[in-house]
Amino acid sequence: MHDDRRITEVRLTRFVRERIDPAVYSRTVPLTLSSWDVPDEPVPALEAMRQQFQPLEHGTAWGKPWSTRWLRLQGDVPESWGTGPDTTVEVVVDLGFTVQTPGFQCEGIAWRPDGTIIKAVSPRNRYIPLKLLGTGMAVDFYVEAAANPDLAQDWTFAATPYGDKSTAGSAPHYRLGTIAIAELNQTVWELQQDVWTLSGLMEQLPLELPRRHEILRALERMMDVMDPDDVAGTAAAGREALAGVLAQPAYASAHQLVATGHAHIDSAWLWPVRETVRKCARTFSNVVALMDENPDFVFSCSSAQQLSWIKESYPELFSRIREKVRAGQFVPVGGMWVESDTNMPGGEAMARQFIEGKSFFLSEFGVDCREAWLPDSFGYSAALPQIVKSAGSRWFLTQKISWNQTNRMPHHTFNWEGIDGTRLFTHFPPVDTYNAELSGRELAHAERNYRDHGRGTVSLVPFGYGDGGGGPTREMLSAAARTADLEGSPKVRIGSAESFFRQAEEEYAALPVWVGEMYLELHRGTYTSQARTKKGNRRSEHLLREAELWCATAAVRTDAAFEYPAAELKRLWQLVLLQQFHDILPGSSIAWVHQDAERNYQAIKAALEAIISQAAAAALGAGERTFLLNAAPHARNGVPALAAAEPATQGGPVRTSGQDGGYVLDNGVIRAVLDADGLLSSLQDYASGREAIAPGQRGNLLELHRDTPNEWDAWDIDEFYRRNVTALTGAESVRLEEGPDGATVVVERLAGTSPVTQRITLAPGSPSLAITTSVDWQEQEKLLKLGFALDVRADRSASETQFGHVFRPTHTNTSWEAAKFEICAHRWIHVGEPGYGVAVSNSSTYGHDVARNIREADGGTTTTVRLSLLRAPKFPDPTADRGRHELTVTVRPGADIGAAVEEGYRTNLAPRLVKGAAPVEPLVSVGTPGLVVEAVKLAEDGSGDVVVRLYESLGQRTAGRIKANFPVRDVVVTDLLERPTEAPGVSAGAGGVELKLRPFQLVTLRFVR
């Protein structure tokens, strides 16, 4: 037989484009339009409908960036329309869409005149069934049209002014398309879906497989039997020609795919938070409308924050969602407040993501989410398995690791083992997207790509337009129905994430294990971009710690005369948690988003400072004595952990002297030498006598790198940044300042054109040298690093993560290690050899790198620790990080891991001096330094019980005791949601708690008053 395959395929493409697609709507009649432009920010629907609407022509240009135009659509359906056996009437609304990038352009939502939502209109979901209008054959409704600019720009990563309203301009971006009453031919639409599914499957099948050619010939017969001039009249014959190949059952061994509806909605990204609220309303109204027509359709919805917005702003829609939750169709998943970043949030914040998220889903829907759901976050902390399990969940899902640039994860279904030994059942959907359309290409890829064939037979497919929202469509549900049992295709069934996980668990018992963090080999720049956002997050986390501690202390010590501000603390926590979303805290959003975040952080600070002041005044009483409030889990200046007392003297004076144009600072604990360039040429601790700085090297070295990643500017640091570097060794001035709080060497220099002032301070009795770097940052596409070349033979570094630390090799033996050229650490990073180490702490920096080399002169090893201070990417915010910054780093020689933990708290919890009448004993006392109290608060249920969260911080078995310093009736071990549970190694009773914890074990205790 002659091979005419390509000829037939080309014929099919044109037949669909020119014959089938235009025949879906056989007749249209335009609607009468009128409009009202919102002057500034969006307004409620009923307020908009009260305005004066002006007549509007079809095809009008509209849409100043970020503006809103309300349209009123009116008309009458012709009498004969929709009366045929296979026809229905719809309204088609085209706001000026393109077929590309749904969710990254203009969008709309349709409203009835009574202020209830109908559904959204978007680039690939433009229809509104007439029956949803509730007006019979008359059409009269409104569309709230949002002129969101397309910042994706085909992912060219070019700088754009549209991310800030003040620079976005006023030129219209869109032109209205077809807005009309339309008659839908159901048979033609069904034929369109048949062809889409079969042709997509055919293209994925091998040429040598007979099935491919059977489908081709069936499609050919379909075109032959149909009349191109009467598609509607011959569509049934076309469907009949395809019925045979559509009825062929799947192979017995075909991979199974559980397809769950989904709409990944970034809580902020290339749009501000205010627009996300409307994106959620659009998407969820689409979903609910689709559920009304398809009772088997299941939609998985994460992010309690987004549903909280709906409850507040769209209560009628929220009620409809509640009904669908009860019906098992609208399924809350994830149990987190937002789909947060997991690299940078602190331990307590990561716990609160689950506490707030799961509590919301339980209280609003009675649903206890069992899976963590983070398809798009940029890598996954090794502490996460324990946190997920401690929240009462048992499964984990992500897709993002498929973006790795270098290495491919060896499994799609496996046990993930965290830093404490907790194992978590984990799945990566092999479809490699969380925005599937259930196309033939996607389904075939999922089957081919699945790495656990022979052991597992099932994987998950989240389907629906996402990132900018939109969700599933009726076309996707049609594809799922056609591929439920179709030869050559995996078997698709609609279901919930829980149904998938239970099936996968049951069939795949002997799971492989992945140990440690799941490091994303991409987006490493997110540890550094938008430094002000990161500083606001770090400061807020610690202020919340202080506020809860002192409020709990005041409430207990005053017998509840001080009212614990539970509602306000919850509100502030939720605001902080929102900003830990995986495109806000990582610094990968538009300017508008980060401006909002910085304003929010300022408001959070003001509110928490006021709360702390009120609590301290209540706890200490009125008086003129000076007390230090020590919120740290370690004693400070003679004040016990978690207590308030008069501080002791810090130590003897700091001795200073000049040396070769530089200065020597010596407080009897450590000795630092700053040379004439303001660089650290020597750092010694008297306890060990060791020199921390490598021979011939210097610390406090600022380096300016070219930073031009291949793509994803704010997200990525590419390894070749290292090849272009300027060491900032020259100083404009170096001077000494002395005072009662220690001695400071002040160094001024330039980083490119950006003035830099460093204050290098040694305080009396301090075991560490503090370096505060102030920069007026004006660079573009540059990376500023601060490095310390240390005389330590470290084969690995330890970086703080949530409730512990993670070790990473300093060598690059394998591609996995080489890929970790930029790593994340929280408050500290430590490098050491047996018997000696150095800790480097920071006040708000997350990006680090650690390298090692062997010195030719003496054969010793130099381990260099560098912190990434600032970047200057051009997309999506071309002004990212411009302006003034202040970043503090400390270096502590002779430090073990315990000292590193303590140093991290010292750097981030500044001494708080207040006036009062009497000291305050800590609510709880822990006698073992390795057991660190992370949170002290009152119970969520309002009982007044005290909840304490602590963890083993050293990475070793640690025993100790925690006792309450107030009357206690009982002590109960709980999970993160404060529900009673059991914990190995914990013996609790009214007399106190005996602890024998495994490395990094996390424990939550409820002290019943």
- Angle of helix 591-620 versus helix 566-578 axis, rounded to 10: 150
DSSP assignment, residue 783? E
Cβ atoms within 10 A of the Cβ of 676, count? 14
List of residues 6+ apart from 80 with CB closer than 8 A: none
302 in Cβ contact with 283 (< 8 Å) = no
**Of residues 376, 716, 877, 881, which has the active-site annotation?**
376
Q: How far apart are CA 690 and CA 791, in angstroms?
A: 9
Closest to 587 measured CA to CA, from 411, 714, 456: 714
Return the closest-CA partner of residue 26 out of 95, 109, 83: 83
DSSP assignment of 8-47, as one string? HHHHHHHHIIIIIHHHSEEEEEEPEEEEEE-SSS---HHH
Angstrom distance (rounded) from CA 289 to CA 300? 15
Distance between first and last Cα of the chain: 87
C-beta of residue 351 within 8 angstroms of C-beta of residue 541:
no
- What DSSP designation does 527 have? G
Q: Is 999 helix (H, G, I), strand (E, B) or coil?
A: coil
Please spell the DSSP secondary structure of 680-727, one letter per residue: EEEEEETTT--B-BPTT--EEEEEEEE---SS-TTT---GGGGGSEEE
Closest CA to 273 of 516, 20, 595: 595
State the burial class of residue 58 (Cβ atoms within 10 Å of its Cβ: 0-12, 13-18, 19+). middle
Give phi and psi for 154, each to the nearest 5: 60, 25
**DSSP for residue 665:** E
Distance CA 844, CA 536 (A): 8
Residue 488 CB neighbour total at 10 angstroms? 24
Answer yes or no: are the C-beta atoms of 128 and 121 closer than 8 Å: yes
Residues in the chain: 1009
Closest CA to 611 of 523, 553, 548: 548
The CA dihedral of 19, 21, 23, 29, to the nearest 10 degrees, is: -130
Amino acid identity, position 217: R
Q: What is the DSSP letter of 669?
A: S
Residue 762 in tokens: 């040694």
CB 471 within 8 A of CB 299: yes
376 included as an active-site residue: yes
Kindly report the number of other CB atoms within 10 A of residue 923's CB atom.
Answer: 21
What order do you get walking across the sheet with 68-76 strand by strand?
54-56, 32-37, 68-76, 138-146, 107-111, 117-121
Residue 704's DSSP bridge partners are: 726, 784
Buried b (16+ CB within 10 A) or exposed e, 521-556: bbbbbbbbbbbbbbbbbbbbbbbbbbbbbbbbbbbb
Q: Residue 256 and residue 536: Cα distance in Å, rounded?
A: 45
Strands 395-397 and 371-373: parallel
Q: Of 541, 601, 520, 522, whose CA–CA distance to 345 is shortest? A: 541
520, 401 in Cβ contact below 8 A?
A: yes
Burial zone of 651 (CB within 10 Å; 0-12 exposed, 13-18 middle, 19+ buried): middle
Question: CA nearest 598: which of 868, 885, 871?
Answer: 885
Peptide bond into 565 cis (omega under 30): no
Q: Which two tokens stand for residue 315?
A: 């209560």
Among all residues, which ones are annotated catalytic? 376
